[in-house]
Amino acid sequence: MINVTVWNEYWHEKNEEEVIKIYPEGIHNCIAGFLEKEDGISVRTATLDEPEHGLTDEVLNNTDVLIWWGHKFHTDVSDDIATKVHERVLRGMGFIALHSAHVAKPFLKLIGTSGSLKWRDNDFERLWVVSPGHPIVEGIDEYIELEREEMYGEWFDIPTPDELILLGWFSGGEVFRSGCCWTRGAGKVFYFQPGHESNPSYHIPQIQRIITNSIKWAAPKRILDELYCPHVPVSAEDLRKATGKAAK
Amino acid sequence: MINVTVWNEYWHEKNEEEVIKIYPEGIHNCIAGFLEKEDGISVRTATLDEPEHGLTDEVLNNTDVLIWWGHKFHTDVSDDIATKVHERVLRGMGFIALHSAHVAKPFLKLIGTSGSLKWRDNDFERLWVVSPGHPIVEGIDEYIELEREEMYGEWFDIPTPDELILLGWFSGGEVFRSGCCWTRGAGKVFYFQPGHESNPSYHIPQIQRIITNSIKWAAPKRILDELYCPHVPVSAEDLRKATGKAAK
Amino acid sequence: MINVTVWNEYWHEKNEEEVIKIYPEGIHNCIAGFLEKEDGISVRTATLDEPEHGLTDEVLNNTDVLIWWGHKFHTDVSDDIATKVHERVLRGMGFIALHSAHVAKPFLKLIGTSGSLKWRDNDFERLWVVSPGHPIVEGIDEYIELEREEMYGEWFDIPTPDELILLGWFSGGEVFRSGCCWTRGAGKVFYFQPGHESNPSYHIPQIQRIITNSIKWAAPKRILDELYCPHVPVSAEDLRKATGKAAK
Amino acid sequence: MINVTVWNEYWHEKNEEEVIKIYPEGIHNCIAGFLEKEDGISVRTATLDEPEHGLTDEVLNNTDVLIWWGHKFHTDVSDDIATKVHERVLRGMGFIALHSAHVAKPFLKLIGTSGSLKWRDNDFERLWVVSPGHPIVEGIDEYIELEREEMYGEWFDIPTPDELILLGWFSGGEVFRSGCCWTRGAGKVFYFQPGHESNPSYHIPQIQRIITNSIKWAAPKRILDELYCPHVPVSAEDLRKATGKAAK
């Protein structure tokens, strides 16, 4: 069983008419909704306004993969929680950064760059698969079309992705690295570009499929107990083993 | 079900006393033996001396992951079969190159370099895990010790691995990139260094675990029908979609 | 001094009216022309119809960076010459593959995949810089616009580039990894997409700048004598050094 | 002219007898000393105890490559200065992290992981070149031997290096990714393992050569004015260009 926590800023869906129509229960519950239908995935949600943003030690310690959606209030996320999320990823937790989480605190701590990009509301996008054998795009055709999505354009200030899965084409003339994988510590990180709050991308089956696939990909193989720098003496037995047997 | 074919040159195990003792049924049957115990894996074997080296179209078309062990007779592998294996990997089949397969024809066609390295028989090796979150080393501790294994040393002429999983330490003073992953086309490729014919590495549970893990990792998510360069006209409908909606 | 050889198939520019107008002296001489103006670069050319395709041992042994343009007659390139070029790159020579060289014999031997892509004549392209700190795009702004260029579209069957420098946007709805770097052996490889024979891309100063930059980037730091697998015994002195000093 | 600033914690060399003997002027002045002999490099130094750690805006804005050595007082580096260094790297400045800078604040901000490793004083090391064509190892033979150096061992918690240049072998049984390159923003980052304060590694010509080479490699090709997320409207002219010419 993969324990998923879907974290959402959850402001637009309570304050903006246009967004309320698309995500009346919030983006987190939309995502939790389609994930719950999957075998082998258990879902909970957490939001900015909850105590500790809903990410208590108990929650984090029982989360295998954390999905993150934030936009307008990145700076309201406490440094303490961002640090805890960061450390939990290094120890093995998967982290899926959605859309405007390109500048979310825990994501920036993980990638080490600014996450800068160009943007413009309401464009038409084609999402091209450029790594057809990757598990994150299992079941996805050559491309996905999004009739309305915010344009995110290069230069996108990210480290070279370990694996580049999707490239976005926008009708206004821009391109974007829209699906990017990194390993950080023992944890896996996926950035996925679609999901502006006023566009219905998370209702689209192919987008749901990619998010679901990414959770399975990011599920930890092990959780490290701690990250530290041990002093390691050489025992007599180690030395016996390590001593130039090549000469025999 | 993952359909695995274990390919072996199968000469040393019929002609060299020392090797016969270690692998009386051949390396291929040793590997097939521990794989058969796994749920979800179906195994067959193929060897150099069989017609078409045992890799008929029928066999290849029903193989999800091909394991390759060869050493003394790389040049006896027909170019035709090497080409078929190469193409099948690009279309999605996984490929696990073991030990001296570092210069096997299909492996060289996949990596694009010479596979050159240093070597010396009978050293002591420590295999260090350098990517602890990777599925290929699930269940493996910090390192594995091999009391006797052939030294393979840098410089190893390979392309930068997409993922570097294991580093080898040898008591004579050498290091080696011993576990390396690449994506080629829609297929996944893993090179794994242990396995000299006169050392019992494939009898060691941790080595077996890594090979088993690598098969699950390399199992195809899709098999492409063909690899070609299509001309793609723009339809009126495509044009409508692709036409600067950004201005609206 | 960087010794550059510009290789060209040189057929279209002798046989197609439209192409003759754009490159009356051949693409190779157009490229040699702007390279000759650079300090520190010495240029020669070679073409398909010359003996050994103009790539004798003497020429190859005195080439630091080889530029390759081919399109219609890839299969007319002899396997022997392709093999020599491949080996010379592994030993350190730089290799710049232009446009339809995505399926040139030496390029395919280097990358290990099929080089497959989509194509369509005569589109409008924007080439976006996605690695602004890279020497290959020194002096290039955010993007370059090509009023007319052949569309090359994803999925492009290449190994994950070690460095991805440029992404192409085409008005018909496609994207492309248009500037890609790899290391192979001791040599550097750059693929650069623009340059259909009936479009004047090599006359555009920014395209010329990128090609010139790529030559400086690909110039060898050393040329290896040979690529082979040496047996390396451990000397008494090596053993002394390699023997567990850690215990002291 | 490449403007280099060598930053040093500069404590051991004033307080520990053993270290004073090796680096009587401090590690920073030892490094500045051999760099000053190079054509095209201009050097200054900065240390922890200076105001703003010697890294004022004026200094940083005139630094092309920053070398960083710190060990005992990483946490005494102010967050403000660490943030400024981080931003300057993203805008284009090169950053060379030496030895125990594996957990220096600006380095950790750049890589996004914990930098954890194993350690043990006083071992024998062989540094193997694994990327012989890379400019950082120009002029370096197959390996460098260090008679006495601190052991740093895997697992080293770093992101997959964009380029892995050197692997360390230690006589006690450990291996280490000792020379690692990353791109962050428009800047280049190199981590280089040798240099424990009580070992004379920075007096060794080959180690000096690698540091000198790394400066030339890391020198910026451009400095970005700022890192931000611009809104980019589509002009009528842009739209004309971006509008499906493919149909013509």
Residue (of C127, A115, B246) closest to D232 by Cα position: B246
Query: Tokens in use for B167?
Result: 């580093």
> In this complex, is the C-beta atom of C203 within 8 Å of any C-beta atom belonging to chain D?
no
**Contact yes or no for A118/A153 (Cβ under 8 A):** yes
pTM flag (> 0.95): yes
User: Mind telling me how many Å the CA of A227 is from chain D's nearest CA?
Assistant: 6
Sequence-distant (6+) residues with CB within 8 A of D13 are: D19, D20, D23, D24, D25, D26, D27, D197
Instruction: Note whether D118 contacts A229, CB cutoff 8 Å.
Output: yes
CB-CB under 8 Å, D242 with C188 = no
* Residues on chain A touching C163 (C-beta within 8 angstroms): 160
Percentage with pLDDT > 90 across chain B: 93
Do residues A193 and A168 make contact, with C-beta atoms less than 8 angstroms apart? Answer: yes
Dihedral in degrees, nearest 10, Cα atoms C194, C35, C75, C59: -160
Interface of D with A in 115-154 (CB under 8 A): 116-120, 151, 153
Neighbours of chain A (3+ CB pairs under 8 A): B, C, D
CB atoms within 10 A of CB B166: 27
Confidence bin at A234 (pLDDT 50/70/90): confident
pLDDT at residue C246, as a whole number: 62
**Per-residue H/E/C for B222-233:** CCCCCCCCCECC
ipTM topping 0.90: yes
Strand blocks (E) in A59-142: 65-69, 94-98, 118-129
* pLDDT tens, N- to C-terminus, chain C (248 residues): 999 999 999 999 999 999 999 999 999 999 999 999 999 999 999 999 999 999 999 999 999 999 999 999 999 999 999 999 999 999 999 999 999 999 999 999 999 999 999 999 999 999 999 999 999 999 999 999 999 999 999 999 999 999 999 999 999 999 999 999 999 999 999 999 999 999 999 999 999 999 999 999 999 999 999 999 999 998 877 777 766 666 54
Residues of D in contact with A184 (CB under 8 A): 112-113, 159
Write the pLDDT tens digit of every residue in D186-223.
999 999 999 999 999 999 999 999 999 999 999 999 99
- CA B5 – CA A236 distance, rounded (Å): 43
Q: Which domains does chain C have, with CATH numbers?
A: 2-115+177-243 (3.40.50.880)
Q: Is residue D239 pLDDT above 80, yes or no?
A: no
Q: Region D122-135: what's the mean pLDDT?
A: 97
Q: Which of C116, D98, A165 is nearest to B162 (CA)?
A: A165
Q: What is the pLDDT of residue A213?
A: 98
Please give the Cα distance from C85 to B109 (Å, whole number).
Answer: 15
When pLDDT is cut at 50, 70 and 90, the band that residue D174 belongs to is very high
In this predicted structure, what is the pLDDT of residue B201? 98
Interface test with D, best of C126, C140, C171 (most D CBs within 10 A): C171
Of A122, D240, A171, which is closest to residue C173 (Cα–Cα)?
Answer: A171
Give the DSSP letter of residue B161.
Answer: P
Of the candidates B180, B170, A164, the residue with the CA atom closest to the CA atom of residue D126 = B170
Which of D90, D153, D80 is closest to D120 using CA atoms? D153
Q: Which of C88, C124, C175, C235 to mutate to test the interface with D (most CBs of D within 10 A)?
A: C124
**Contact across the interface for B133 and A183, Cβ inside 8 Å:** yes
Chain A environment of C164 (Cβ under 8 Å): 160, 164
D248 has pLDDT over 50: no
Band the pLDDT of A244: cuts 50, 70, 90: low
Between C155, C174, C243, which is nearest A169 by CB? Answer: C174
Residue A245's pLDDT band, with cuts at 50, 70 and 90, is low
List the beta bridge partners of residue C143.
Answer: C128
Q: Which chain A residues are Cβ-neighbours of D229 within 8 angstroms?
A: 103, 116-119
Helices B27-36, B205-218: axis angle to 10 degrees equals: 70
The one-letter code for the residue type at B187 is: G
Q: Which residues of chain B have pLDDT under 70?
A: 242-248
Inter-chain residue contact A227 with D118, CB threshold 8 Å:
no
User: Structure tokens of C87?
Assistant: 């080996």
**Crossing angle of helices C205-218/C27-36, nearest 10°?**
70
Helix axes A205-218, A27-36, angle to 10 degrees: 70
C83 touching chain B per CB within 8 A: no
Residue A239 contacts D, CB cutoff 8 Å:
yes
Q: A109: phi > 0 → left, psi -120 to 50 → alpha, else beta; which?
A: alpha
Separation CA D100–CA D1 (nearest Å): 28
Handedness of CA D158, D163, D167, D173 (dihedral sign): positive
